[in-house]
């Protein structure tokens, strides 16, 4: 289980990141008004499994929700995650469907 405290919002590089051993998983984003565009998911092969991806995305979405931002997933992997987890669809801005 990913500890949300381990998740870093690196606003200089505009990415959420978490370090596992010597590997860095990240989600790149662009922030515009009250929307966060999730543009790229990068998970190194050494730690890439479906459970890690789900936990990582859930932790990022929790942090975004706490900041009261809407999400716009432009990455296919992130859009697929939102489609398969209905509870995150409420975070989409009005008029955005995936």
Q: For residue 90, what are its two tokens?
A: 């409420």
Which of 34-43, 70-79, 86-95 is least confident? 86-95
- Taking residue 72's Cβ as centre, other Cβ atoms within 10 Å add up to 21
pLDDT of residue 27: 97
> For position 1, what pLDDT does the model report?
54
Cβ-contact 50, 94 below 8 angstroms: no
Q: How confident is the model at residue 55 (pLDDT cuts 50, 70, 90)?
A: very high
**CA angle in degrees (0–180, nearest 5) for 33-9-37:** 40
DSSP state of 74: -
Contact 58/23 with Cβ under 8 angstroms? no
| pLDDT tens-digit readout, 21-52 | 888 999 999 999 999 999 999 999 988 787 89
Q: What is the pLDDT of residue 96?
A: 80
């Amino acid at each position: 289980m990913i500890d949300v405290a381990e998740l870093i919002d690196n606003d200089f590089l505009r990415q959420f990141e978490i370090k596992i051993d010597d590997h860095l998983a990240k989600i790149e984003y662009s922030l515009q008004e009250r929307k966060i565009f999730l543009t790229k998911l990068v998970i190194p092969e050494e730690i890439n499994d479906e459970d890690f991806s789900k936990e990582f995305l859930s932790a990022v979405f929790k942090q975004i929700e706490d900041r009261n931002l809407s999400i716009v997933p432009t990455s296919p992997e992130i859009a697929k995650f939102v489609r398969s987890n209905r509870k995150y669809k409420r975070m989409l801005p009005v008029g955005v469907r995936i």
